[in-house]
Amino acid sequence: MSSILKFFRITFFLALYFFLCMVVVTIMLQGWPVGGQMLFAFGVPVILVWWQEKRRSRKVAAKAQAEGSSETHPPRPEPVPRPSANDKRIERERERTREANASQAPAAVQAYSPPKQDYAEIVRAGKSAAPALAAAAERNQLSLST
């Protein structure tokens, strides 16, 4: 039964790939010589079906091997590595650093205050620079219009 299904599968994909290659030949490969068009239309489907069946057989074999190996050997749990003395020391240092940073953070947040701005000074600076800016804008307008 499987050989009959394989025959129909191969026949179906050969016909499908042949049809797609003929579409490509009629649309895109008109500049090729007739022999090249025929080689493309008949050769590419054969190569594609061969590659597809080869890939399919590898997948089936890998799946069968995986099922066979899982039935014979139960999976073992991974051993949990014990932390060494060096790892413990590093973890203690990290914990101390976290604690030190946590105790310093609120003081730093409280010490920060946004800078106070003197809006009157900003307005005065703007008023004093207004004539110079107007003159520069006027010069720019004159140079653009000429």
Summarize pLDDT for 101-122 with one digit per residue, the tens: 777 665 555 566 667 777 888 8
Q: How far apart, in whole angstroms, are the C-alpha atoms of residue 116 and residue 122?
A: 12
Band of the pLDDT at 7, cuts 50, 70, 90?
very high
Burial class (CB in 10 A: 0-12, 13-18, 19+), 41: buried
Q: In which residue are the tokens 């080689």 written?
A: 39
Within a domain: residue 28?
A: yes
Planar angle of CA 61, 64, 65, nearest 5 degrees? 85
Q: Determine, yes or no, domain membership for 102.
A: no
Q: How far apart are CA 64 and CA 8, in angstroms?
A: 23
Mean pLDDT score of the chain: 84
pLDDT tier for residue 71 given thresholds of 50, 70 and 90: low
Percent with pLDDT over 70 in the chain: 85
Residue ranges making up the domain that contains 50: 2-72
> Does residue 77 lie within any of the structural domains?
no
